[in-house]
Amino acid sequence: MPLSEGRGETIAFPLRNKFNWGTSIIMGLFHVGAIAALFMFSWKVFFATVFLYWLATGLGISLGYHRLHTHRSYQLPRWLEYTFAVFGTLNLEGGPIFWVATHRLHHQKSDQPGDPHSPRDGAWWAHMLWIVFGEVHHNNTAVMSKYAPDLAKHRFYVWLNTYHWVPIIGLAGILYAIGGVPLLMWGVFLRVVFGLHATWLVNSASHMWGARRFATRDDSRNNWWVALITFGEGWHNNHHAHPTSARHGLAWYEFDPSWILLKVMKACGLAWGIKVARVETRLTEREAA
């Protein structure tokens, strides 16, 4: 389904006829910054960046934007749900309403005309070119809200989607004050670039290479090395077969750090209503006890 703006006007994905100079310049600057960061290495900034990557990509994207906000695979206290959304904005992938709307469209049109990022439109298109061509909707909260009405009911999500750049600027200031230029370059520029390519690989590599456990109508595949760098998101065929399952790695050998953490959160009383597809129940979705 194309995104609809007003009456009769549609915004469809993908669009190849308009180059986004603003997005491209920002992406280019971040990639230059990531390369520069490599010349400022120290173990201190390395481990700080690993921790920030877990917060932003592990909690913000994998457990937050994806499994919680998009698919509602489990429930959290409202304050923690909002916190995960803030972490999600630290990845330079837009606000929660934009991310959720785009991903829901991907599931609806997966590898079909209208999919925002299908390798059938080209491997590089699926990986990153879909970001730099077409209309920019990161801040078009009114339009994107039509495809994430559950989030649009919350003033916090509406504000965060419109001003999704505020948290990362705040983080940049904090990192500079604590560790100077090296921590800023690693904790923002290099981390963001690595995280972007890692999550983009779910869109590209996990629709091209890997095993298919389920005969889904799309090209989704389980890719172990993508799973390793995305906290379990690379078990993509499992996910497309059971999109509302909070567990993506369905076999013992499918390492899924986000699922492991979610079980710990449940044991601590921080998560409940967890939907999971289990191998021992023939992979049928059900509510976890």
270 pLDDT more than 70? yes
Q: Judge if the upstream peptide bond of residue 257 is cis by omega within 30 degrees of 0.
A: no
Dist. CA 15–CA 25, nearest whole Å: 19
Dist. CA 116–CA 129, nearest whole Å: 10
Domain boundaries, the chain: 19-211
Dist. CA 253–CA 112, nearest whole Å: 31
Among candidate residues 98, 100, 94, 102, the one with its CA nearest the CA of residue 13: 102
260 pLDDT more than 50? yes
Distances (CA, A) of 218 to 118, 177, 197: 10, 47, 22
Give the pTM: 0.90
The average confidence (pLDDT) of the chain is: 90
In the prediction, which pLDDT does 10 show?
43
1 pLDDT more than 70? no
State the DSSP H helix or E strand holding residue 162, giving kind and residue range, or none if neither.
helix 155-162
Distances (CA, A) of 68 to 17, 65, 84: 33, 6, 9
In the prediction, which pLDDT does 127 show?
96
* Strands 285-287 and 275-277, bridge-based pairing: antiparallel
pLDDT band of residue 12 (cuts 50, 70, 90) is: low
In the prediction, which pLDDT does 283 show?
42
What's the sign of the alpha-carbon dihedral 52, 57, 63, 69?
positive
In the prediction, which pLDDT does 205 show?
98
256 pLDDT more than 70? yes
In the prediction, which pLDDT does 284 show?
40
Among candidate residues 250, 194, 249, 167, the one with its CA nearest the CA of residue 38: 194
Torsion of CA 282, 265, 98, 200, to 10 degrees: -70
3 pLDDT more than 50? no
In the prediction, which pLDDT does 144 show?
81
Indicate the range of 22-26, 258-262, 281-285 predicted with least confidence. 281-285
The amino acid at residue 29 is L
In the prediction, which pLDDT does 22 show?
87
Residue 223's SS3 state is coil
CB 197 within 8 A of CB 226: no
85-131 pLDDT tens trace? 999 999 999 999 999 999 999 999 999 998 989 999 999 999 999 98
In the prediction, which pLDDT does 16 show?
62
pLDDT band of residue 20 (cuts 50, 70, 90) is: confident
